[in-house]
Chain A
Amino acid sequence: MNSGNIHSLLLFAAVCVLVSLSPAHAQKDLKLKEGAGGEICLSCHERMQEVMDKPFVHAPLLDGDCVGCHNPHTSNFEMLMAAPAESICYTCHDSVVPEDARSVHKVVVEGQCTLCHDPHSSDNEFNLLKKGAELCYECHQALAGRIKEAKYSHPPVRENCLDCHAAHAAGKNEKLLDAASPELCLQCHETDKETFKKLHRDYPVDTADCTSCHDPHGSNTAAMLYDNVHDPVAKRNCEHCHVSPSDSQPFALKAPGYETCMACHYEMITDALNQNNLHWPLVDGKGCINCHSPHASTQKKLISEPMLDMCGKCHSDTVARQARSATEHPPIAEGQCGECHSPHSSDYPMLQKKETLIELCADCHEWQTHTTHPIGEDFVDPRNPNVTVQCASCHRTHGTEYKHFLYFSTANELCVQCHVRFRR
Chain B
Amino acid sequence: MSKSSILFCILLFGCMVAGPALGAGPAKMKFVQAVYEGEQEIGLKYPEGVACTDELLIVADTANNRLVRYTFSNRTAQPMEPEIPIISPIAVEVNSKGEIYALDGRDKRIRIFNPDGTEKGSLSPKGSPVSRKLMPRSFKIDRNDKVYILDLADGVVLVLDAEGNYLRHVPFPAQAGFFSDLAVDRQGNIFLVDSTEVAVYLAGPDADGFDLLSKGLKEYANFPTGIAIDKGGTIYLLDKHGGSLIMLNRDGSFLGHKFGYGWKDSQFYYPSQLCISEGGTFYIADRGNSRVQIFISEE
- Which of the residues B36, B62, B131, B196 comes within 8 Å of A385, measured between beta carbons? B36
C-alpha spacing A386/B45, complex, angstroms: 7
Q: Which of A314, A317, A350, A385 has the most CB of B within 10 A?
A: A317
A315 touches B223 (CB 8 A): yes
B137 touches A280 (CB 8 A): yes
Any chain A CB within 8 A of the CB of B249?
no
C-alpha spacing A228/B195, complex, angstroms: 31
Q: How far is the CB of B223 from chain A (nearest CB, A)?
A: 6
A285 touches B154 (CB 8 A): yes
Known: A256-B132, A278-B105. A283 touches B152 (CB 8 A): yes
Query: How many A residues face the partner with a CB closer than 8 A?
Result: 29
Any chain B CB within 8 A of the CB of A281?
yes
B291: chain A residues within 8 A (beta carbon): 384, 386
Any chain B CB within 8 A of the CB of A118?
no
A276 touches B290 (CB 8 A): no
C-alpha spacing A277/B88, complex, angstroms: 8
Known: A277-B105, A283-B135, A315-B223. A387 touches B155 (CB 8 A): no
B289 touches A386 (CB 8 A): yes
Any chain A CB within 8 A of the CB of B204?
no
Q: Which of A275, A278, A386 has the most CB of B within 10 A?
A: A386
A281: chain B residues within 8 A (beta carbon): 178
A349: chain B residues within 8 A (beta carbon): 46, 63, 287-288
Any chain A CB within 8 A of the CB of B31?
no
Chain B, residue nearest A398 (CB): B241
Known: A276-B87, A284-B153, A285-B153. A386 touches B223 (CB 8 A): no
Interface contact tally, CB-CB below 8 A: 79
C-alpha spacing A208/B229, complex, angstroms: 44
Chain A, residue nearest B63 (CB): A349
Q: How far is the CB of B237 from chain A (nearest CB, A)?
A: 14
- Which of the residues A259, A276, A278, A314 comes within 8 Å of B177, measured between beta carbons? A314
C-alpha spacing A16/B64, complex, angstroms: 86
C-alpha spacing A387/B43, complex, angstroms: 9
- Which of the residues B105, B137, B263 comes within 8 Å of A383, measured between beta carbons? B263
A residues 275-321 touching B (CB-CB < 8 Å) = 275-278, 280-281, 283-285, 313-318
B residues 15-44 touching A (CB-CB < 8 Å) = 36-37, 43-44
Q: How far is the CB of B66 from chain A (nearest CB, A)?
A: 13
B residues 124-166 touching A (CB-CB < 8 Å) = 131-132, 135, 137, 152-155
B241 touches A383 (CB 8 A): no
Any chain A CB within 8 A of the CB of B3?
no
Any chain B CB within 8 A of the CB of A381?
yes
- Which of the residues B88, B196, B270 comes within 8 Å of A276, measured between beta carbons? B88
B196 touches A386 (CB 8 A): no
Q: How far is the CB of B205 from chain A (nearest CB, A)?
A: 25
- Which of the residues B62, B154, B242, B263 comes within 8 Å of A384, measured between beta carbons? B263
A residues 247-287 touching B (CB-CB < 8 Å) = 256-257, 259, 273-278, 280-281, 283-285
Q: How far is the CB of B61 from chain A (nearest CB, A)?
A: 11
Any chain A CB within 8 A of the CB of B106?
yes
A314 touches B178 (CB 8 A): yes
B105 touches A276 (CB 8 A): yes
B135: chain A residues within 8 A (beta carbon): 283-284
C-alpha spacing A274/B105, complex, angstroms: 9
A386 touches B36 (CB 8 A): yes
Q: Which of A276, A314, A417 has the most CB of B within 10 A?
A: A276
B152 touches A276 (CB 8 A): no
B residues 37-85 touching A (CB-CB < 8 Å) = 37, 43-46, 62-63
Known: A276-B88, A314-B196. A383 touches B264 (CB 8 A): yes
A384 touches B289 (CB 8 A): yes
A278: chain B residues within 8 A (beta carbon): 105, 108
B153 touches A283 (CB 8 A): yes
A317 touches B241 (CB 8 A): yes
Any chain A CB within 8 A of the CB of B277?
no
A387 touches B263 (CB 8 A): yes
B177 touches A284 (CB 8 A): no
A385 touches B43 (CB 8 A): yes
Chain B, residue nearest A284 (CB): B152
A386: chain B residues within 8 A (beta carbon): 36-37, 43-45, 289-291
- Which of the residues B105, B131, B290 comes within 8 Å of A387, measured between beta carbons? B290
C-alpha spacing A417/B105, complex, angstroms: 34
- Which of the residues B62, B106, B195, B270 comes within 8 Å of A274, measured between beta carbons? B106
A257: chain B residues within 8 A (beta carbon): 132, 153
C-alpha spacing A280/B131, complex, angstroms: 19
C-alpha spacing A315/B223, complex, angstroms: 8
Q: How far is the CB of B220 from chain A (nearest CB, A)?
A: 12
B195: chain A residues within 8 A (beta carbon): 314
C-alpha spacing A131/B56, complex, angstroms: 74
Over the window 393-417 of chain A, the binary record of Cβ atoms lying under 8 Å from chain B Cβ atoms (1 yes, 0 no) is 0000000000000000000000001
C-alpha spacing A318/B242, complex, angstroms: 10
- 27 chain-A/chain-B pairs, Cβ below 8 angstroms: A256-B131, A259-B132, A273-B108, A274-B106, A275-B106, A276-B62, A276-B88, A276-B105, A276-B106, A277-B105, A278-B105, A280-B152, A281-B178, A283-B135, A284-B178, A285-B154, A313-B196, A314-B195, A314-B196, A316-B218, A317-B222, A317-B223, A350-B270, A384-B290, A384-B291, A386-B36, A387-B290
- Closest 3 A/B residue pairs (Cβ): A386-B290, A317-B222, A276-B88
A contact residues vs B (CB 8 Å cutoff): 256-257, 259, 273-278, 280-281, 283-285, 313-318, 349-350, 381, 383-387, 417
17 further A-B contacts with Cβ under 8 Å, apart from A274-B106, A317-B218, A381-B263, are: A275-B106, A276-B88, A276-B106, A278-B105, A280-B137, A284-B135, A285-B153, A285-B155, A314-B177, A314-B196, A315-B196, A317-B242, A384-B289, A385-B36, A385-B43, A386-B289, A387-B290
B contact residues vs A (CB 8 Å cutoff): 36-37, 43-46, 62-63, 87-88, 105-106, 108, 131-132, 135, 137, 152-155, 177-178, 180, 195-196, 218, 222-223, 241-242, 263-264, 270, 287-291
